[in-house]
Structure 1
Amino acid sequence: MSLLPLVFTSGWASGINAYAVILLFGVFGATGMTDEVPESLQRTDVLVVAGVLFVCEAVADKIPYVDSIWDSVHTVIRPVSGAVVAALLAGQSGSLPEIAAGAVGGATALMSHLVKAGTRMAVNSSPEPFSNVAVSTAEDFGVAGIITFAIFHPLAAAIIAGGLLLAGIVIVIFLASKIRRFWRRRAERRARRRMATAWPPL
């Protein structure tokens, strides 16, 4: 009964910070806080790699424009990670088909990733860098908090994750004009760089 809410929540969190999800689940499983985490996520090599990549994301995610480049690279990684984690959780419990769990986790991760990426484009339209740090830090703590909460209260955590996903979609729609300005400015900067590096006509 508790697996589907856990799958949904892990998918939402994976769309924001997939490495934190893997790291947290692995640590919780390895320390015996839950028996729903498969052993493949508890392996030392998996935890080390997830930890290193989490640190890389924590740094890149707080630098204006670098965060959007990082998000672009992870457009495939986060949904795939969400699907894999969900399938592993389903395989561990046997109460939900792995394909169905993977579809739920991957689709939820893709939606939350698109919300995160869209929000960051809007935040990057601000000239000051502090908003990036604030938003990124809030995301880090949010993912850690909701995954921890989901281990003990999966249904309540899924409801919160669903509410946050819906609120994020509404915010991105509201900030659509800022997002469009972000892409125009990015295109203009690329055009200026091309002109600056072009050879002068003979």
Structure 2
Amino acid sequence: MGIMEIIGIAGSVSLLSGWRLYLCVFATGLAMRFDALPVPEHLASLAVLENPWVMGIALVGALAEFFADKVMWLDSIWDTVHTLVRPVGGALLALAIVDPSDPAMQVIAFLLGGGASFLAHGGKASARAVVNTSPEPVSNVAVSGLEDIATVGLLWLAYEYPVVAAGIALVLLAIAIALLLIARRIIRRVFFRVREPDT
């Protein structure tokens, strides 16, 4: 596996961790346990994800996130609590993917993985804050369900086809940046409308 593919997988998994960290950990561990995900020798450190304790904790977290993410405003509270957890988790996953014999690459992966995960988390949290301004609960459930499906699908694609993993990471990065910019614009518009004095 070439350096570009490894960086692509690390970037994709880090970005997806900014959306659904627990689901990324559980799905990867489950796929490894049932040999659906053949792990190359240099990714042997990921074997910790198929540990029953790690999988159990990740499953509890994934289920809690699945339900919390469907409830208006509870999803934003959940995102706020995970502002530190997701970037650290994404950085550690990226660290586990790169070659452990190359310390410089590990530092780069840790920093970029954490940054990518934080950016994806920020985009998700901002977008959900905007969705929460809608009075009906259907949009929350729809957006959350789409995130669940996209996370599982993109995670599978990143591991199964490492050649396109770099492209996936770039697309996710562009989506996260776009969500941040759109959310910022909408929030500023709503904020200034609220502050306008009554005439």
TM-score, normalising length: structure 2: 0.84
For residues 139 and 55 of structure 1, do their structure 2 counterparts lie closer, same or farther at Cα, with a shift above 3 Å needed?
same
Q: How does 1:45-194 map to 2 (within 5 A)?
A: 45-91=53-99, 97-180=105-188
Amino acid across the alignment from 1:9: S
**Contact 1:86–1:102, Cα closer than 8 Å, also in 2:** yes
Structure 2: state its 5+ residue gaps.
193-199
Runs (4+) off by over 3 Å = 91-96, 180-184
C-alpha displacement of 1:167: 2.9
- Greater shift, 172-181 or 61-70, is seen at 172-181
Match of 2:197 in 1: none
- Greater shift, 175-184 or 40-49, is seen at 175-184
C-alpha displacement of 1:165: 2.6
For residues 16 and 182 of structure 1, do their structure 2 counterparts lie closer, same or farther at Cα, with a shift above 3 Å needed?
farther
Match of 1:200 in 2: none
TM-score, normalising length: structure 1: 0.83
Separation in 2 of the partners of 1:156 and 1:4? 11
Higher RCO (C-alpha 8 Å, min separation 6): 2
Separation in 2 of the partners of 1:44 and 1:6? 24
Give the alignment partner of residue 18 of structure 1, picking from 14, 18, 21.
21
Structure 1: state its 5+ residue gaps.
185-202
For residues 169 and 182 of structure 1, do their structure 2 counterparts lie closer, same or farther at Cα, with a shift above 3 Å needed?
same
**What is the percentage of aligned positions where both structures have the same residue?**
33
The alignment of Structure 1 onto Structure 2 pairs a total of residues equal to 185
Amino acid across the alignment from 1:158: A
**Contact 1:7–1:105, Cα closer than 8 Å, also in 2:** yes
